[in-house]
Amino acid sequence: MIWNAVGSLVYALASMALAFFVLRLSGQEDGGIFGFGYSTLGQQMFIISYFGIRSFQITDMRSEYSFGDYLRARKLTSLIAFLGGMAFPLLLFLLGKYSVRKAVILFLLCCLKVLDGFADVYESELQRQGRLYKAGQSLCFRTIMTFSTILLVLLSGFGLLAACLAALLVHALGVYFFAVRPLRACPSDGNGKGLSGVDWFCHGRSKKLLWDTFFLFASVFLDFYVFSASKYAVDNVIGSEGSGIFNVLFMPASFIYLVANFLIRPTLTRLSMEYAAKDFAAFRKTSRFIVSAIAGLAVLIVLCAFVFGRLGLGIIEWILGGKFRGLFTAEWIPFLLIIGGGGLYALSDALYYILVTLRRQRMIFVAYVLCALAAFLTADNAVRAGGIQGGALHYLVLMVFLLFLYAVFSFAAFVGLEKE
């Protein structure tokens, strides 16, 4: 649990610190490009590579699928994510909305996140085998390597493009040494074949796995779109400079989610074992504990933001330098709205994992389809009407809607559990 917490904390802090350093060392426009590429577009490609399989894999205590099945599936999803990370910037370049430099930087950041998604299949298997500490170490050390590389290259004066390229190469080494090597032994595919050969992407078990987890993937993909819809809208309506400001304001919301995850993940194995054993009384008790812990965390962070938020934004301006003075403190109200939305999102995430354990993928999918549709129809108009504050209010309202849907579906799922 300690290593898992350390890895999640380092990952969360590195994301925020990198946003600050790129803003300070490369300017507001490059800061906006990096923030959008690293925490929004790149993360969307991570979701494609990730495919929502982690929660399924770490709760697969009956070994319904082998690690070989999970690995083959992840190779295919990572390839699709790589192609998506190439296609999106290329399309916007061809439409005249991106420069060549911005398109290349965004592509490199997408590749960085796709590698994160590929490493996750190894870290998930380590957790499934009772070695969560190894997964935490991998996330921690890989993040430190990537963070240090970007920072050192920027400090050396080589620019953001060179920093992203160097980070991608170093990160690939980190994935090999800290994720792949600790899990060298790969099970056979059930037919006596190993993991090499031409059947990487066409093995029947892997196809079945992808189908079984498709609703999870679609839900997670739509989930991140819902989470990021206001960021896409700000980048589209206001541009890179506005996106840089909005991404910094948004960082604590991402931090709440990441911290919530290191509280949730260690309990998932116990939750899945209780459900597999049909110990529904214990399952309900563990579920209440998870929801209560995340609700308490969310309330604490929102209160801290209300009391210390303006001071914190002032410190950010001081760190970034004089040219940013007054830029973030003027956005205190949007900052509070985003923090409130982040707390609601973390609470929704707790209910999401409970529904995943209960294998209620279709309920999850319906919730995200409804929220994604609402986001798509309203995000750009909200930003056009209210600027950054409009984007922040839009995010908060979406999170209220998402939590409401999850609460309704969770109640229905527990009613059904009583009848089993």
Amino acid at 369: V
Question: Is residue 290 in a domain?
Answer: yes
3-state SS, 39-58, equals HHHHHHHHHHHHCCHHHHHH
Answer yes or no: do 196 and 227 share one domain.
Answer: no
pLDDT over 90 (residue 266) = no
Answer yes or no: do 192 and 229 share one domain.
Answer: no
Question: Is residue 217 in a domain?
Answer: no
Cα(first)–Cα(last) distance of the chain, in Å?
Answer: 32
Query: Whole domain around residue 356: which residue ranges?
Result: 223-420
Answer yes or no: do 414 and 270 share one domain.
Answer: yes
Give dist(CA 393, CA 79) in Å, integer: 36
CB atoms within 10 A of CB 418: 8
Q: Which of 28, 251, 3, 232 is nearest to 140 (CA)?
A: 3
pLDDT score of 16: 80
Report the SS3 class of residue 12: helix
CA torsion sign for 137, 140, 143, 144 is negative
- The single-letter DSSP state of residue 328 is T
Question: pLDDT exceeding 70 applies to what percent of the chain?
Answer: 93
Question: Is residue 218 in a domain?
Answer: no
Query: What pLDDT digit, counting tens, does each position of 186-209 carry?
Result: 444 443 333 433 344 546 678 888
Count of structural domains, the chain = 2
- The single-letter DSSP state of residue 202 is T
Answer yes or no: do 147 and 241 share one domain.
Answer: no
Answer yes or no: do 197 and 232 share one domain.
Answer: no
Question: Is residue 265 in a domain?
Answer: yes
Name residues whose C-beta falls within 8 Å of residue 140's C-beta, 6 or more positions apart in sequence: 3, 6, 7, 10, 11
Answer yes or no: do 297 and 358 share one domain.
Answer: yes
Which helix (H) or strand (E) segment holds residue 92: the answer is: helix 67-94
Q: Which of 82-91, 169-178, 246-255 bottoms out in mean pLDDT, i.e. has the lowest? A: 246-255
Cβ(15)–Cβ(38) below 8 Å: yes
Q: What is 211-276 written as a DSSP string?
A: HHTHHHHHHHHHHHHHHHHHHHHHHHHT-HHHHHHHHHHHHHHHHHHHHHHHHHHHHHHHHHHHHH
Cβ(340)–Cβ(403) below 8 Å: no
| Mean pLDDT within 261-287 | 78
Name residues whose C-beta falls within 8 Å of residue 186's C-beta, 6 or more positions apart in sequence: 67, 68, 71, 194, 195
Which of 212, 243, 261 is at the close of a domain?
Answer: 212
Phi/psi of residue 196, nearest 5 degrees: -90, 170
Q: Which residue has the tokens 């083959």?
A: 72
Name residues whose C-beta falls within 8 Å of residue 269's C-beta, 6 or more positions apart in sequence: 58, 59, 61, 127, 130
Question: Is residue 24 in a domain?
Answer: yes
Cβ(281)–Cβ(414) below 8 Å: no
pLDDT score of 203: 61
Give dist(CA 359, CA 365) in Å, integer: 12
pLDDT score of 372: 93
Check residues 420 and 352 and name the one with the higher pLDDT. Answer: 352
- The single-letter DSSP state of residue 40 is I
Answer yes or no: do 264 and 321 share one domain.
Answer: yes
Answer yes or no: do 207 and 258 share one domain.
Answer: no
Question: Is residue 59 in a domain?
Answer: yes
| Mean pLDDT within 368-396 | 92
Answer yes or no: do 25 and 152 share one domain.
Answer: yes
Q: Which of 219, 251, 226, 220 is nearest to 378 (CA)?
A: 226
- Mean pLDDT in the chain? 85
pLDDT over 70 (residue 213) = yes
Which of 212, 242, 257 is at the close of a domain?
Answer: 212
Which of 169, 185, 212 is at the close of a domain?
Answer: 212
Answer yes or no: do 173 and 44 share one domain.
Answer: yes
| Mean pLDDT within 232-255 | 82
Report the SS3 class of residue 95: coil
Answer yes or no: do 255 and 386 share one domain.
Answer: yes
pLDDT score of 418: 61
Amino acid at 108: L
Query: What pLDDT digit, counting tens, does each position of 54-92 carry?
Result: 878 887 777 788 888 888 889 999 999 999 999 999 998
Question: Is residue 60 in a domain?
Answer: yes
pLDDT score of 220: 78
Give dist(CA 25, CA 183) in Å, integer: 38
Cβ(349)–Cβ(202) below 8 Å: no
Query: What pLDDT digit, counting tens, does each position of 326-369 carry?
Result: 888 888 899 999 999 988 998 888 888 888 888 787 888 888 89
Answer yes or no: do 35 and 74 share one domain.
Answer: yes
Give dist(CA 354, CA 344) in Å, integer: 16
Give dist(CA 358, CA 374) in Å, integer: 27
Name residues whose C-beta falls within 8 Å of residue 12's C-beta, 6 or more positions apart in sequence: 254, 255, 258, 259
pLDDT score of 80: 95
Cα separations (Å) of 303 from 299, 317, 339?
Answer: 6, 22, 10
Give the pLDDT band of residue 150 (cuts 50, 70, 90).
Answer: very high
Most confident region among 8-17, 72-81, 119-128, 256-265 by mean pLDDT: 72-81
